[in-house]
């Protein structure tokens, strides 16, 4: 009886159509900050630990710890999410207030990272909103959507 139910479940699963999903780059104006920006004191404290002599000697990233300004630029960020929470971005806390709300996507790209697909929506000011999924995704068109931000779409299934 168990084998019959398992076979039936597998057959039904194989017979169900695969549901394709069209994803569009999120509206940056509706993005929500979900983590706070580090204080200057926190940045100075973590710089001392992160860029200690041992870390610099064994670390591969020599540029970040070259100066405090480089470290601050790399680490003075906060996590933001699209309105629906599907896309995430680490955005500089130095980005002037209100700038994010005016940004429109300029490109969309798909890459594979092991079993994950990474869908990256790029905006001016170095902002990239990322969506991760185990499904396959394909960008519509050539991925350049500077002229038409609504064209920044990908089909995933």
More confident residue, 48 or 58: 48
Look-up of token digits 């870390």: 55
Q: How far apart are the first and last CA of the chain?
A: 33
Can you give the pLDDT at residue 57?
A: 62
Look at residue 50 in the predicted model and tell me its pLDDT. 85
| Total residues found in the chain within this entry | 157
The Cα 64–Cα 75 span in angstroms is 9
pLDDT in tens, 78-122: 999 999 999 999 999 999 989 999 999 999 999 998 999 999 999
Contact indicator for 28, 80 with CB cutoff of 8 Å: no
């Amino acid at each position: 009886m168990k084998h019959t139910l398992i076979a039936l479940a597998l057959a039904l699963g194989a017979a169900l159509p695969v549901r394709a999903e069209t994803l569009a780059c999120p509206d940056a104006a509706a993005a929500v900050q979900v983590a706070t920006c580090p204080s200057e004191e926190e940045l100075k404290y973590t710089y001392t630990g992160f860029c200690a002599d041992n870390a610099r000697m064994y670390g591969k990233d020599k540029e970040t710890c070259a100066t405090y300004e480089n470290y601050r630029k790399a680490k003075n960020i906060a996590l933001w999410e699209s309105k629906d929470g599907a896309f995430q971005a680490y955005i500089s806390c130095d980005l002037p207030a209100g700038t994010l709300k005016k940004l429109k996507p300029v490109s969309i790209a798909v890459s594979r990272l092991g079993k994950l697909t990474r869908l990256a929506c790029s905006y001016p000011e170095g902002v990239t909103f990322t969506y991760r999924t185990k499904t396959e995704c394909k960008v519509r068109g050539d991925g350049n959507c500077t002229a038409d931000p609504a064209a920044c779409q990908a089909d995933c299934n």
